[in-house]
């Protein structure tokens, strides 16, 4: 998944929204080309070679192709600036796209399971597949694994959960192609039933991944907080700001792949309002420079030096 460290190494990241969008578009269009070619090849050879598993794998590639266009749509809208209707920006378009990708995977997986079970009800009718189906499955395996590695590298650089989801979608196709290849080998070895069994395994893998993606995105859409490690890193950045004596009530919520933060800063009660404001501005700038924070709302609390005669008061 996406690492949760802060943006301390600017050389290793795409910093601007334009750079992130360009990288996302480039990797996604690469996926479109690969998936389009594999969809046509797998379904055509699956039909000609009488392999239900290869046809199922082709449908999986088709779902990848549809998912790619969902990602392109979300990337286009998520980079829009904040407006009156979306004062915090449009980053949650990415989360919504991840949710749609998950639902799509779940539906495709369940459909493949149903089709495979129908075949397993009459195993004697399962035909022997042609050897060319095996070569296509091997080609798909190599292509999908290479595509996964390329897309995941880009997704981690731009820190996009939507692109990570799409990359793992490609990895699921690579895994399914491996299962399909084994099923075809078993079919060619004299065990025809292994082809629909392979198709059912692929369906289960796809459905499981779809459930996980959609469930995770649903949590983010309902204002899930950032993980504790990242919250602690933000707290430490606030505490390191000159003039901040203590920090409490740090609350976060996910906004796409960014975070919205609320925090209470304790400052010397004797300073002026202007000085307190300057401290809050400095704290906000530090956090937004070092972490993937979209906005930080601060509340200043007065801190008084403890009375030596009354140590319990502050």
**Within this chain, do residues 198 and 75 fall inside the same structural domain, yes or no?**
yes
Average pLDDT over residues 56-82: 72
Q: So what's the pLDDT on residue 154?
A: 84
Task: Give the lowest-confidence range in 18-27, 96-105, 231-240.
Answer: 18-27
**Within this chain, do residues 49 and 161 fall inside the same structural domain, yes or no?**
yes
Is 227:4 a contact under the CB 8 Å cutoff?
Answer: yes
- Output the CA torsion 149→151→157→160 (10° steps): -130
**Within this chain, do residues 142 and 289 fall inside the same structural domain, yes or no?**
no
Q: So what's the pLDDT on residue 80?
A: 62
Q: So what's the pLDDT on residue 307?
A: 61
Picking from 200, 221, 242, the residue at the C-terminal end of a domain is 221
Token pair listed for 297? 């709302």
Where residue 138 sits, what CATH number does that domain have?
A: 1.20.1510.10
Token pair listed for 243? 């003039």
Q: So what's the pLDDT on residue 114?
A: 85
**Within this chain, do residues 291 and 245 fall inside the same structural domain, yes or no?**
yes
CA distance 306 to 17: 46
| Residue 313 is assigned to a structural domain of this protein | no
What value does the mean pLDDT of the chain take?
79
| Residue 312 is assigned to a structural domain of this protein | no
**Within this chain, do residues 130 and 255 fall inside the same structural domain, yes or no?**
no
Count of Cβ atoms closer than 10 Å to residue 273 Cβ? 8
Residue in 154, 140, 219, 172 with CA at minimum distance from that of residue 67: 172
Number of domains in the chain: 2
Higher-pLDDT residue of 117, 314: 117
- Output the CA torsion 261→262→265→270 (10° steps): 130
- Alpha carbon distance, N-terminus to C-terminus of the chain: 44
**Within this chain, do residues 244 and 217 fall inside the same structural domain, yes or no?**
no
**Within this chain, do residues 203 and 250 fall inside the same structural domain, yes or no?**
no
**Within this chain, do residues 71 and 45 fall inside the same structural domain, yes or no?**
yes
Residue 44: is its pLDDT beyond 70? yes
CA distance 314 to 311: 8
**Within this chain, do residues 150 and 211 fall inside the same structural domain, yes or no?**
yes
The DSSP-derived string for 248-270 is EEEEEEEETTEEEEEEEEEEETT
Sort residue 40 into left (φ over 0), alpha (ψ -120 to 50) or beta. alpha
| Residue 194 is assigned to a structural domain of this protein | yes
Picking from 204, 221, 238, the residue at the C-terminal end of a domain is 221
| Residue 5 is assigned to a structural domain of this protein | no
**Within this chain, do residues 120 and 259 fall inside the same structural domain, yes or no?**
no
Average pLDDT over residues 258-273: 89
| Residue 25 is assigned to a structural domain of this protein | yes
CA distance 20 to 259: 16
Please tell me whether the overall predicted TM-score, pTM, comes out greater than 0.85 for this model.
no
| Residue 138 is assigned to a structural domain of this protein | yes
**Within this chain, do residues 211 and 252 fall inside the same structural domain, yes or no?**
no
Picking from 190, 221, 252, the residue at the C-terminal end of a domain is 221
| Residue 1 is assigned to a structural domain of this protein | no
| Residue 267 is assigned to a structural domain of this protein | yes
- Output the CA torsion 209→219→263→312 (10° steps): -100
Higher-pLDDT residue of 67, 144: 144
User: DSSP letter at 10?
Assistant: G
Average pLDDT over residues 13-28: 66
**Within this chain, do residues 104 and 192 fall inside the same structural domain, yes or no?**
yes
Task: Give me the residues paired with residue 171 across strands.
Answer: none
Segments forming the whole domain that contains residue 276: 228-303
Where residue 241 sits, what CATH number does that domain have?
A: 3.30.70.1350
């Amino acid at each position: 998944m996406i690492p949760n460290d802060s943006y301390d190494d600017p050389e290793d990241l795409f910093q601007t929204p334009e750079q992130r969008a360009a990288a996302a578009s480039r990797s996604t269009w690469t996926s479109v080309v690969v998936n389009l070619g594999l969809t046509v090849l797998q379904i055509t050879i699956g039909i000609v070679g009488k392999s239900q598993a290869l046809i199922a794998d082709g449908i999986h590639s088709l779902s990848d192709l549809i998912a790619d266009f969902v990602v392109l749509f979300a990337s286009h809208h998520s980079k829009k600036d904040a407006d009156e209707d979306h004062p915090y920006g449009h980053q949650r378009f990415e989360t919504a796209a991840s949710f749609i990708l998950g639902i799509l995977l779940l539906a495709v997986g369940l459909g493949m399971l149903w089709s495979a079970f129908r075949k397993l009800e009459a195993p004697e009718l399962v035909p022997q597949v042609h050897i060319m189906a095996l070569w296509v499955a091997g080609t798909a395996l190599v292509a999908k694994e290479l595509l996964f590695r390329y897309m995941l590298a880009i997704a981690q650089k731009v820190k996009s959960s939507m692109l990570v989801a799409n990359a793992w979608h490609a990895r699921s196709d690579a895994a399914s192609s491996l299962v399909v290849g084994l099923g075809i080998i078993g079919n060619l070895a004299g065990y025809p039933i292994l082809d629909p069994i392979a198709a059912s395994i692929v369906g289960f893998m796809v459905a499981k991944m779809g459930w996980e993606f959609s469930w995770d995105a649903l949590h983010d859409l309902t204002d899930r907080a950032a993980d504790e490690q990242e919250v602690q890193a933000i707290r430490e950045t606030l505490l390191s700001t000159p003039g901040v004596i203590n920090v409490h009530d740090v609350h976060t919520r996910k906004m796409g792949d960014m975070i919205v933060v609320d925090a209470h800063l304790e400052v010397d009660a004797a300073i002026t309002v202007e000085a307190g404001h300057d401290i809050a501005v400095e704290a906000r700038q530090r956090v937004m420079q070092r972490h993937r924070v979209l906005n930080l709302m601060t509340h200043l609390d007065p801190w008084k030096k403890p009375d030596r005669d009354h140590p319990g008061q502050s």
